[in-house]
Amino acid sequence: MSLETETPWVDGLTIGEVLRRTAKEHAGSDALVFPQLSLRYSWKQFDDIVDETAKGLLAIGIRRGHHVAVWGTNVPEWAMLQLATARIGAVLVTINPAYQSAELEYVLKQSDNVALFLIEQFKTSNYHDILNRVCPELAGSVPGKLDSKGFPCLKAVVNMRGNAKAGMLSWQDVLMAGGAVSDDEFARAQEGLSASDAINIQYTSGTTGFPKAATLTHRNILMNAYYVTGCQNITHLDRMCIPVPYYHCFGLVMGTLGAVTRGAAMIIPAEYFSATATLDAIEKERATTVYGVPTMFIAMLEDPSFATRNLKSLRSGIMAGSPCPIEVMRKVIDVMGVKEVTIAYGLTEAAPVITQTRVEDPIELRVETVGRPLPGVAVRLVNSETGGAVEDGHPGELWVKSHGVMLGYYKNPEATSSAIDSQGWLRTGDLATHRGNGYYSITGRLKDMVIRGGENIYPREIEEHLFTHPHIEQAAVVGLPDKKYGEELCAWVCIKAGAPITEDDVKAHCKGQLAHYKVPRYVKFVDSFPQTVSGKIQKFKIREQMIAELGLNEEKTA
Under 8 Å CB-to-CB from 386, ≥6 apart: which residues? Answer: none
Task: Tell me whether residue 93 is in a domain.
Answer: yes
pLDDT band at 558 (very low <50, low <70, confident <90, very high): very low
SS3 state at 30: strand
Q: Say yes or no: 109 and 251 in one domain.
A: yes
End-to-end alpha-carbon separation of the chain, Å? Answer: 31
Q: How many domains does the chain have?
A: 2
pLDDT at 123 over 80: yes
pLDDT at 556 over 50: no
DSSP letter string over 157-199? EEESSSS--TT-EEHHHHHHHHTTS-HHHHHHHHTT--TTSEE
Decide if 291 contacts 523 (C-beta within 8 A). no
CATH classification of the domain holding 269: 3.40.50.12780
CA atoms of 275 and 243, how far apart (whole Å): 9
Cα 505 → chain centroid: 30
Rounded to whole angstroms, what are the CA distances from 83 to 59, 80, 217, 473?
Answer: 17, 5, 13, 47
Identify the sign of the CA torsion 233, 237, 241, 244.
Answer: positive
Lowest model confidence (mean pLDDT) among 161-170, 180-189, 388-397, 409-418:
388-397
Buried b (16+ CB within 10 A) or exposed e, 258-275: bbbbbbbbbbbbbbbbbb
Which residues constitute the domain of residue 105?
Answer: 15-334
Decide if 340 contacts 359 (C-beta within 8 A). yes
CATH classification of the domain holding 526: 3.30.300.30
The pLDDT of residue 207: 43
Long-range CB contact pairs, 514-518, < 8 A, 24+: 514/100, 514/102, 514/103, 514/461, 514/462, 514/465, 515/96, 515/98, 515/99, 515/100, 515/103, 515/455, 516/98, 517/98, 517/452, 517/453, 517/455, 517/457, 518/457, 518/461, 518/462, 518/489
Q: Say yes or no: 330 and 456 in one domain.
A: no
pLDDT at 428 over 90: yes
Decide if 193 contacts 72 (C-beta within 8 A). no
Task: Tell me whether residue 557 is in a domain.
Answer: no
Task: Tell me whether residue 158 is in a domain.
Answer: yes
The pLDDT of residue 554: 58
Q: Say yes or no: 218 and 74 in one domain.
A: yes
Rounded to whole angstroms, what are the CA distances from 157 to 88, 102, 123, 162?
Answer: 19, 18, 21, 14
Last residue of a domain, one of 334, 355, 376: 334
Last residue of a domain, one of 288, 308, 334: 334
pLDDT at 114 over 70: yes
Region 53-62: mean pLDDT is 98
Mean pLDDT of the chain: 93
The pLDDT of residue 457: 87
What is the number of other CB atoms lying within 10 angstroms of the CB of residue 147? 12
Region 456-476: mean pLDDT is 85
Q: Say yes or no: 329 and 454 in one domain.
A: no
pLDDT digit string (tens) for 301-326? 989 999 999 999 999 999 987 667 67
Q: Say yes or no: 464 and 318 in one domain.
A: no
SS3 state at 204: strand
pLDDT at 555 over 60: no
Task: Tell me whether residue 384 is in a domain.
Answer: no
pLDDT at 511 over 80: yes
pLDDT at 532 over 70: no
Last residue of a domain, one of 277, 305, 334: 334
CA atoms of 218 and 193, how far apart (whole Å): 10
Lowest model confidence (mean pLDDT) among 200-204, 266-270, 387-391:
387-391
Is pLDDT larger for residue 166 or for residue 431?
Answer: 166
Q: Say yes or no: 124 and 254 in one domain.
A: yes
CA atoms of 194 and 364, how far apart (whole Å): 42
Q: If you compute the radius of gyration of the chain from its CA atoms, what whole number of angstroms results?
A: 23
Task: Tell me whether residue 122 is in a domain.
Answer: yes
What is the number of other CB atoms lying within 10 angstroms of the CB of residue 446? 15
The pLDDT of residue 209: 58
Identify the sign of the CA torsion 539, 544, 548, 553.
Answer: positive
CA atoms of 360 and 497, how far apart (whole Å): 61
Task: Tell me whether residue 388 is in a domain.
Answer: no
Q: Say yes or no: 144 and 290 in one domain.
A: yes
pLDDT digit string (tens) for 203-248? 986 444 578 999 999 999 999 999 999 999 999 999 999 999 999 9
Q: Say yes or no: 456 and 328 in one domain.
A: no
Region 537-556: mean pLDDT is 82
Nearest alpha-carbon partner for 227 in 402, 33, 25, 431 = 402
pLDDT digit string (tens) for 351-401? 999 999 999 998 888 888 999 999 999 999 999 778 899 989 888 999 999
Strand 198-204 relative to strand 239-241: parallel, antiparallel, unpaired?
A: unpaired
Task: Tell me whether residue 157 is in a domain.
Answer: yes
Helices (H), 89-170: 101-111, 127-134
CA atoms of 292 and 228, how far apart (whole Å): 14
Q: Say yes or no: 456 and 330 in one domain.
A: no
Lowest model confidence (mean pLDDT) among 7-21, 465-479, 530-544:
530-544
Task: Tell me whether residue 426 is in a domain.
Answer: no
CA atoms of 393 and 390, how far apart (whole Å): 8
pLDDT at 446 over 80: no
